[in-house]
Amino acid sequence: MLNWNRTLITTGSLCVLLLSAMLPVQGKPARQKKPAPTATTIYQQAKKELPEDFYTLYRVIDRVARANELDNRPWRVVAVPKYDVNAYASDINLVAIHDGILDQLAGDSSALACVVAHEMGHHTKRHIALGVAQKTELIAKIEQEATKEVLGEREAANRESTAATVGGVVLGNVLGGNVGGFMGSILGNQGAQRQVESQQRINEIVEKKKKELEQRLAEQERQQEFEADEIGYINSVKAGFEPEGCLRVMQVLAQMPGAEFDTTHPAVPKRIEAIKALIIKYPPQTLVKEGEARISKTKPLTYSISKDKTSLRINSVRGGSQADDIERRFDK
Ligand SMILES: [Zn+2]
């Protein structure tokens, strides 16, 4: 975490320095209107200001967002200081990239763009939000049904228990003394015992149903991974990156233990086959043309440090400053 904090503070400080440099200097004549910054100046500034990983991630998200009409929302990116070959989408429009994957894909912006576009795809398809809501709802339903069943079983057991106690009293009257009371208590205990057993059985049913649900959801998650792989391929290629970048990511993942098995993700060989099929289904040259047309109609996105100071925010087409927007609309 130390590295991460240091990186952020550095980034933040650099931004502050830049902002102060842009403040009007008192005593000087009114500033002339500056020409709008060109792509080169924004990118050059970013390269100077941002640590290299963040500069790269900014440039990747800028292109992927603009080429795919995903520039109507801000994106956030963090580099997680863990040497894992991992990346994930979380929170709102946040893409987290672990140091391990940045390191293993060093020098290969096409592979990195595929990873980033894949994670952005999880956000645009709302995989995270839907997954959590669906799971919560289904588990609540299972528990509700189980409670109903438990109550039904308990009622039946209670009726039996009451009947047995009454039986005990009757037997006591007939046999007299301790024997009748003893028999009655055995029958009564049988009812209570059944009550415990039925509770245990219901718990087992609930556990079984939950396991089945987990399996169903895991299968759904694997489908979502294929879907995100498709988006990763299409959107990164539209942004001008190499189609083979996605295959190179898979080659890194293929070296991980267990890569040949289905887990929360599909087995890597299956993902490789699916990507190869995508390259045939969506020819790269067509995608590149579509992306270029969109990029040429848009301007480079700006960036800021997110309000919680923990991530780099790549702004939407509306920019990152409320104050600037007010001044664009009204008098300064
Ligand atoms: Zn994924």
Structural domain boundaries in the chain = 2-11+46-128+227-321, 131-220
pLDDT score for 32: 54
Q: Output the tens digit of pLDDT for each of the chain's 332 residues.
A: 323 333 332 332 223 222 222 223 333 444 555 566 677 799 999 999 999 999 999 999 999 999 999 999 999 999 999 999 999 999 999 999 999 999 999 999 999 999 999 999 999 999 987 777 777 888 888 888 887 877 787 777 677 766 665 554 444 444 444 444 444 455 556 677 777 777 787 788 888 888 888 888 889 999 999 999 999 999 999 999 999 999 999 999 999 999 999 988 999 999 999 999 999 999 999 999 999 999 999 999 999 998 888 899 999 999 999 999 999 899 87
Q: How many angstroms does the Cα of residue 199 sit away from the middle of ligand 1?
A: 39
Q: How many angstroms does the Cα of residue 208 sit away from the middle of ligand 1?
A: 27
pLDDT score for 234: 98
Size (the chain), residues: 332
Per the structure block, which two tokens stand in for 231? 């988006």
Q: How many angstroms does the Cα of residue 313 sit away from the middle of ligand 1?
A: 21
Instruction: Give backbone dihedrals phi and psi of 97, rounded to 5 degrees, phi first.
Output: -120, 125
Q: How many angstroms does the Cα of residue 89 sit away from the middle of ligand 1?
A: 8
pLDDT score for 186: 52
Q: How many angstroms does the Cα of residue 67 sit away from the middle of ligand 1?
A: 21
Q: How many angstroms does the Cα of residue 228 sit away from the middle of ligand 1?
A: 6
pLDDT score for 71: 98
Q: How many angstroms does the Cα of residue 293 sit away from the middle of ligand 1?
A: 28
Closest alpha carbon to 68 in 241, 246, 226: 241
pLDDT score for 165: 58
pLDDT score for 24: 30
Q: How many angstroms does the Cα of residue 163 sit away from the middle of ligand 1?
A: 59
Q: How many angstroms does the Cα of residue 306 sit away from the middle of ligand 1?
A: 23
Q: How many angstroms does the Cα of residue 302 sit away from the middle of ligand 1?
A: 26
Q: How many angstroms does the Cα of residue 114 sit away from the middle of ligand 1?
A: 11
Q: How many angstroms does the Cα of residue 286 sit away from the middle of ligand 1?
A: 25
Count other C-beta atoms under 10 Å from residue 196's C-beta: 10
Distance CA 308, CA 93 (A): 14
Distance CA 140, CA 135 (A): 8
Q: Note the maximum CA span of the chain.
A: 116
Q: How many angstroms does the Cα of residue 284 sit away from the middle of ligand 1?
A: 22
**By the 8 A CB rule, do 233 and 114 touch?**
yes
Distance CA 115, CA 153 (A): 52
**By the 8 A CB rule, do 77 and 311 touch?**
yes
H-helix or E-strand containing 98?
strand 94-98
**By the 8 A CB rule, do 183 and 168 touch?**
yes
Q: How many angstroms does the Cα of residue 178 sit away from the middle of ligand 1?
A: 70
